[in-house]
Structures are given as C-alpha cells and as structure tokens.
Structure 1
Amino acid sequence: MQNSNYIKRENDQIVSGRDLPEFRRGMGLGGWLLPEGYMWEFEGEVNSPLRMEKLVANILGVDSEEFWQKYLDRFITERDIETIARAGFDHVRLPLNSRTIMSQGHLSAEGARRIDTLIDWCKSSGLTVVLDLHGAPGGQTGANIDDSPNRAPELFTDASNFEAGVRLWGELAERYVDEPWVAAYDILNEPLPDTEDNRALIPELNRFHREAAHAIRGVDPWHLLSFEGWHWSTKFEGLELDIDENSVLHFHKYWSTPDTSSIQPYLSLRRNTGLPLWMGESGENTNEWYGKAFALFESHSIPWTFWTWKKLARTNSPATITKPQHWDLLEAAAQNPTLAIDREKASAALWQFVDNLPLERCTINPDVLESLPGIHS
C-alpha cells in the first residue's frame, strides 16, 4: 500500500511524494538532541550525553538545567534550517536520543514539541525530515554515540528497553502518520559493532526491526522505513531484508577509499533485493574526500546525507562554533573527570559556549558546502 503524498520506495529508487522535494541531498543535525563528546572537542571518558551532563552538573550545579535548556534552544534554530535549505539540501536527518524525548517510558510532551517545531521549520523552508533513533533505550551499540548508560547494547539484552524502543516507534508513527514532510523512520542508528558477543545479538536486532515495523504499520501504512546495517551501518550479513515492502537499505561511509569497489557490496544488495539504497551518514574528512565520495554516491543514484552541520572549533563541517576562552579546562576535565580545575573559569566557558551556539555567531565554511555536489554557500 502506498500514498502519492509521501516519499516512498518505487522499485530500487526513493521517489518523492506530491508537493515534496526530491530525496537526494541531506544534512545531519548531529549534536543537538544527542551531543557527542568529539563535537565539543572532548576526548577520553566524557564523550556521551550522560557523562557530559554529569560534567556540566559538577561545574554549574543547579544552573545546569538552565544551561541545557539554552543549549537545546540555540543549537538548532529556524535560521539554521533556512540556511541549510538555501544551500541546496532537500532533507535533514534528526538524531533522536530516547532519553531526551521520552518520560516514564513514553514519548514526552517536551520531546514531541521539539520534533514538531523542527518539522514546522523544515516545512516552511521546503525540507523533509528523517526521524533517526540515534540513541535507543539502553543503547543499541554500547558505544558513546548511543548514550548507553552501561556501555553495552542493552536494547537487545533487557526486555524493558526492547519494549520501550518498540513502543516509542509506535508512538512516533501514531503522531506523524498524517505528516508527509516526515520523509522516513530510521529505525536504529549503527546497531551492534562487530564483536563476537554482538554477532550473537543479530537475531535480536532482526526481532527489533520486525517488531518496530509491526508497531509502526499498526498505525501508519505510509512512511518509508530505513533499515541500517550493523557494525556502524556497514554490514548487512545476517539481517532480514524483506521486513517491509516500503523500505530502504541504509549504509554509512567513513574513512575509506571513495571508489565504486568500496560500495560494491551495497550496489549488489540493491541489485539482488530490488530495494533502494541511502547513504545516510558520511563526513568528518577533508573537502577533497567529500568531493570524490559524494560525487560517487550521485553517480550511482544513491541519495546521501552529510554528517554533520555544526561542531565546536572544527572546520570540516559547514558551521563552526567559536571555542570559548578557558575551554581547555573543560577538555582537561573530560579527559580526567577527577582533575581539579578552576570552576569559575570553567563555568564562564560553558555560558560563553551556549552564547556562541546561534548560527549568527558561528563561522560558515563555504569550502565545505561547495565540495558537495549540487550544494552552494
């Protein structure tokens, strides 16, 4: 069953719905609802939202709640979305942290408000939105990128987390079933890094895919479903690929040669399954590499999404947040949380950081944008 108003699969391609932009070139909004340590120039132990929140709380105390409110209000605003659209992108991928958007095991009013607001901004600018479960309940990777509390993929080993993840998708689908500007539901970001223990969990990953799809289709017959490979979204061996007819196979590409042989396994998957491909995350490299890699995706008719829009200090994303004075104290504390630092200076650095978040106070890097095919500064 399909509806011409929605982005959907048509044979081995993704086609646009009526009055919607093509789904070809997108931007990831990493670092907003799920900040990662490296985006703050943090290395070492403090590299996931839970640990970053603890560090901020140790420095700011009761004022940490105000800090995070300002962070969420300023990191992505309507101006960011308008700028992304003007540059030539047609969609954004919104990484969701279940802990940020859920309360007592259900989609929270505040979480829904944040998503709704972003969708409204995107509709006004002509962008569609992919909802990406980047941090599932309990974590789907056990790495810092999913905010897993115990550094283990407990989505698959704890029944309550598994059920909460399935329930979340059902609630998101129920809320957005009538919203064609939501391009797709990206079921799980980069599940299960390749370890012996994690390979044993692939049947549970398949079960989660099936049950999440069932929960979605119970209320929403229309939206495209995105199924990512395991091991940082690079492997599809052992995955069930026929779970839903209106679906796309989603891979990521980082730090590998940008030539056809490097993506041949995915091209073969498309040929053998008849399902479309989406390269949903790539970046964190040089402009020269971007030019070759993203042109490669286009040459094979693969839609792509850049990672990521905005980071502190680094210039290999389109927007750079200015590093505050004394930020080195935060970097040192992230490396060694027991280190004694000047709390007054560290506090001032944190408040300056949130003041620097709005796009008008960031530096736009036109060379990054212009390295991407079809995109301009």
Structure 2
Amino acid sequence: MVRRGILTVCLSLAAWLGLGAAVPKADGAQVAGPVNGGGHRFLKVVGTEIREASGTGKTVVWRGTNLGGWLLQEAWMTPMMSGQELPQADEWHLRALLAERFGEATRDRLVSAFQDTWIQEADLDAIQALGLNLVRVPFLYMDLLAEDGSLKAGGTRRLDWIIEACGRRGLYVLLDLHGAPGCQNRWDNSGRINADPQLWKAPRFQDMTVKLWTALAKRYKGNPTVAGYDLLNEPDKAEGADEAAFAAQLNAFYDRLYRAIRAEDPDHILVMEAFPGWQRLGDPAAFHWTNVVYQFHSYAMQAKVGGVDVSQVWTVQRDMVERLLADAQAHRTKFQVPIFVGEFCVFGFEDLWARALAGLNRLGISWAPWTWKVAFGDPERGDAAGFWGLMCHDTGSWPRLTQDDAATLEARWRSHDTATHFSPNPAWTALIQRYASGATDLPPRPEAVRLQVRGRFVGANPLAVPFAPFGTQRDLVPLLVDRDHAADGPADWTAFTLRELGDGTLALQARLNARYLRANLEVAGRLTASSTQVGPPERFRRVDLGDGTFALQTLANGKYVGPDAQGALAAESPVPIPFTLHPLHP
C-alpha cells in the first residue's frame, strides 16, 4: 500500500515535469555579474561554514543533486548505445565513432541533440520543487576545448544556460570538471577508460586544464549563482604509480589551478576532492588556500567477503554511512574547512538514506547524492536499482550507433526527456524532499518480521554457498532454514518486510539486501532474495491455518513454501507447511 506522502510527491513530480521543456539557447550569450536580485547570494567560506553575502550573511548548507550523464555520458546510466558497439563504452569513443561515420559537424549536432534533451527547464523546476538548493554539473572538457588546446567558440553555451536557468530559480550551480584533458583518472567518468591517465604525465594536458579553468573563472567572475568551481572529479593515479609521489603531484597541481583561477576570480569558492580517501589531500593552511571547500565521495560498491560480493547488504551499507558521517566530521575539524559529500549512494535501503541525510544535516555538512536521473530502474515494480536516480525507468529509444543513420540517431536521442520518458522514484524523492528542508529526525523504519518453520528461523545469508550458483552471485542470496535462534548471525539476515500488494497476495523483502524473495521454478522452486521487482514468482498467498500459523502459497506454481531436504526454502510442497511470524521491533 503506497503511503500518502510518497504518492503526493510522485504526483507532484509528474505535474512539475509537465510544465514544459525549454532547451538551451544557442547564442552563447555572456553570463557574468550579479543575477537574481544582486550579490546577497554570493557565497564565501568563513571558517568551517559557507555563508551568503560574500561571507557576511546567513549560513548555507548545500543540499543538492548531480546532473550526471548530461555533459559527459556514462554508458551504465545513459542511452549511449544498444549492444556492444564501442571498443570502450565511454564518451571519447562515442564521439570518435560518430565523427568517423558522419564527420565532425554532424557528430556535434548529434551530441547536442542528446544534451538538449537529457536536462531541460522542467528538470530544474522539479529539483527546485523538492526543496534542493544546488546542482552539481559534471562536464567534459571536449565541449569547451579543441584538442589543440584552443577554446571553442560558443563552448560555454550549456554552462551559460544552466547558470542562468538555475539563477532564476534560486538554485546554486557547482561547476564540476568531471572529464579533464588527458583524463584525471582511469574510468569512464573521466570521459575515456584507460589504465594510464595522461593528465599526470603530459604537460600540455595540464596546461589545457589550467587554460580551461582560467577562461571559466574570467567568464563567471562575480556571478552569485555559481557556488564554486569543483576543480577535478575523483583524481587518481595510474596503475602502479607511487602513492606519495602522486599525492605531491596532485597537491602541486591543485595549487597551480588555485593560483591561476585566483588571478582572474578572487572570490568564488574552490572545491578540492579527496579521493579515494583523505590520505592524498594536503592541509589548506600549508598552501595558503582560502575560501575552499573539501569534498569526498562515499560508496561501498565492491565489498567482498570470502570472494562473494556483499555490497548490497544492509550491514555493509550501514557501515559505509557511519564512515561517511565520521569522515565528514573528523576532516572538517582537521582541516578547518567546510566539507561537501558530493556523491554517494546506499542502494535501496530507505532507512539508511534517512540515516545518512539526517546525520549530515545534524552536522551541517553539505551533500549531493549521485544522481538526478538514470536510464534503468522501475520504481513501480519495486526496483531497488532505481535508487541511483531520483528519476529513472527510461522508456526512450536506444541508439544503434553502428547501424542507425544520423537522422535516426538524433530522433532516438531526443526521446529521453525526463517529462515524457522517465518516472520519479517515489520513495527516494520523498526522502530527499524531507531532508532538503534540513530535517534531522528519522522516520520509523518499516516493520520487519522473522519467519519460523519447523522450529527453525529463516535466514538470508550471502556467505552460505551450499548450492551453486546462488551464493556466488550478489543478487541470488539463498534462503536457508538453518537458525535455532532468531539472533543467530547478523540481525538483518533474518529480517523480512511484508509488502501487501492489494490483490490478496504479498511479497517478502529481505532487509539484508532490499531484494524480494523469488521462487526459482527452474531449480526446484528454491527461494532466493534476488528480485528488484514483483511478478508471479515473487507473489505469495498467505493461507491462515487457524492455529496461529499460516502457510505461504506461491502464485507462480500453486505450491507451498517450506524447507527442502537440504534445508533450503523452496516452493515445492503440495500441502501447506505451517509458519509462525515474529514481529521484529527496531
């Protein structure tokens, strides 16, 4: 049953997204100087706080989102391609293929068609309506600089547009160089997948990066909508490079960028990123840096125990949230600068999202989860993967890069606007709206239960691998009737949430990984905590047996659930098997 608050948010977002969709103007008009009523909104760092009115006004905590995938596509989250059509699934190879097939002018037109569509004014209306005050704008150097290092005419067109459009809505913009010349890290989020990022080896790429930031600083000097300049996203060394030497090089390059920008723009906040941890980032006092914010990102995406990926386990993500909060507080104290958690994700664990956002608000730490929209995830079917994007479930048409002609590619890329082809994730948007206001309270955690059958408790254990392939795959966690006491093992391994589906059936969601229990009819009906959506294999009828017990009948095959000969939970019994239910109080 959908809660009224979530439904209201969902309906409201649908209304906001129907307001219209103006696209960026192509005139490249200058955007500089005060907008939105004057300079009272201009931000400056004072101690460990960010304040309005150039540091003399009220404290501002950034609470925002990332416009990921817009000015730098990442194949996992955007409609970059259909099938494996690129040697490397990144924007550099995408543009190279388009130029080879159609020429540079048509390539630019096609890229522009995507960018016209992915983020529009309606997106900004929805972000504003959620109560957020910041958008972090990841961008790729290729739209602004030619490969010879020269500035492209009109290259700032989209940055100009987003700054102007956000200014009209009272939103701040953090400009984030996500993909630097030569690449600052090894991954697709730098624009090109590589094992040897050349920014750190080629002086010409460093010079290009300095030139780019100098030009942007000159252009946006004095603009109060611009919250600051995020100098390099997730800078990382080449594989095998010396850690200490890289840390020294990184801080020296940050210092060079700092001084080049300050020569043109002495007033805007500069943001330096600690990545992958804090060991590389120097003390700002040692470099005489002022008006700076330190940023870090927090993910637990490849946590392995005994060779098994357990990243989508509640306890793993809980530990990450606790580290996030502790890191933010400790390093604000250590460096005496404001801290910004510029990217993070805790998958489908609504209670952990609440814990993270409430905790950051309580500490006065700025935040922006990754990200505004992703192509996958269907919230209407309970897809926890949708927690990567506040907007998700893209129903647009995917391009076929090696087959479609230019007109077809353009039409396909223009079919991915948010208003028409995306759905809001109601649970996540409700949480973001709640904590965008600065709330610090925690909503009640969904009531959970434990299940007992034949004197033993059911557990979802990602480390138990008595039968392949369940235990070797992250999303195929086996359900075992193997605990004499409910407290055996981590508490959340034996906790399940009952989701009444409104048609006389229910689904069981494992608190362990927020996945639904699924009866695999191809493997003797064995149940796994594996589904992100609810269909017949995830639906059960609760049959009251009249003595305080009940049976679970699987909708997919009509069989009853119970332990099989190996102690696994399976939907294979022709007769009811009694379960007892034990409420679990948070």
The 8 Å contact of residues 57 and 64 in structure 1, kept in 2 or not, is answered as: yes
**In 1: Cα distance, 2:349 partner to 2:408 partner:** 34
Counterpart check, 1:90 vs 2:133: yes
The 8 Å contact of residues 96 and 133 in structure 1, kept in 2 or not, is answered as: yes
Distance apart, 1:14 and its partner CA:
1.7
- Residues 1-377 of structure 1 correspond to what in structure 2 (within 5 A)? 6-17=42-53, 22-40=60-78, 46-54=88-96, 64-103=107-146, 104-148=148-192, 150-192=194-236, 195-197=239-241, 199=243, 200-231=245-276, 234-237=277-280, 239-242=282-285, 243=287, 244-255=289-300, 256=317, 257-283=319-345, 285-288=347-350, 289-314=352-377, 315-316=386-387, 317-320=389-392, 322-324=394-396, 327=398, 343=403, 351-372=411-432, 373-375=434-436
**In 1: Cα distance, 2:296 partner to 2:46 partner:** 19
SS at match of 1:211: helix
The 8 Å contact of residues 171 and 225 in structure 2, kept in 1 or not, is answered as: yes
- Note the residue ranges of structure 1 that are not aligned, 5 or more in a row: 334-340
Residue range with higher mean Cα deviation, 102-111 or 199-208? 102-111
Distance apart, 1:320 and its partner CA:
2.1
- Note the residue ranges of structure 2 that are not aligned, 5 or more in a row: 1-38, 301-316, 378-385, 438-586
The 8 Å contact of residues 266 and 277 in structure 1, kept in 2 or not, is answered as: yes
**In 1: Cα distance, 2:199 partner to 2:225 partner:** 29
Pick the structure with more helix per residue.
1
Give TM-score scaled by structure 2 length: 0.56
The 8 Å contact of residues 48 and 336 in structure 2, kept in 1 or not, is answered as: yes
Q: For residues 320 and 5 of structure 1, do their structure 2 counterparts lie closer, same or farther at Cα, with a shift above 3 Å needed?
A: closer
**How well do the aligned residues superpose, as a CA RMSD in angstroms?**
3.0
Q: For residues 144 and 261 of structure 1, do their structure 2 counterparts lie closer, same or farther at Cα, with a shift above 3 Å needed?
A: closer
Give TM-score scaled by structure 1 length: 0.85
Distance apart, 1:277 and its partner CA:
0.7
Paired positions, count = 360
Q: One-letter code of the match for 1:11?
A: G
Identity of aligned residues (%): 27
The 8 Å contact of residues 113 and 413 in structure 2, kept in 1 or not, is answered as: no
Residue range with higher mean Cα deviation, 163-172 or 349-358? 349-358
Q: Which string of whole-angstrom CA distances, capped at 9 and with x for unpartnered residues, describes residues 43-68 of structure 1?
A: 97533101233455677788544322
**In 1: Cα distance, 2:139 partner to 2:371 partner:** 14
Distance apart, 1:249 and its partner CA:
1.0
Q: Which string of whole-angstrom CA distances, capped at 9 and with x for unpartnered residues, describes residues 313-369 of structure 1?
A: 2322111252446x4x95xx8xxxxxxx8x359985773342232433322222221
Q: Which string of whole-angstrom CA distances, capped at 9 and with x for unpartnered residues, describes residues 230-272 of structure 1?
A: 22xx324453433311111111111242444444244222112
Q: For residues 113 and 353 of structure 1, do their structure 2 counterparts lie closer, same or farther at Cα, with a shift above 3 Å needed?
A: closer
User: Bigger radius of gyration, 1 or 2?
Assistant: 2
Q: For residues 346 and 66 of structure 1, do their structure 2 counterparts lie closer, same or farther at Cα, with a shift above 3 Å needed?
A: closer
Q: Which string of whole-angstrom CA distances, capped at 9 and with x for unpartnered residues, describes residues 279-328 of structure 1?
A: 11113622523222222222221110121111212322111252446x4x
Residue range with higher mean Cα deviation, 55-64 or 85-94? 55-64
Residue range with higher mean Cα deviation, 260-269 or 135-144? 260-269
The 8 Å contact of residues 21 and 127 in structure 1, kept in 2 or not, is answered as: no
Residue range with higher mean Cα deviation, 313-322 or 68-77? 313-322
Distance apart, 1:4 and its partner CA:
6.3
Pick the structure with more strand per residue.
2
Q: One-letter code of the match for 2:435?
A: G
Which of the pair has the greater relative contact order for Cα pairs under 8 Å at 6+ separation? 1
Residue 336 of structure 1 aligns with which residue? Answer: none
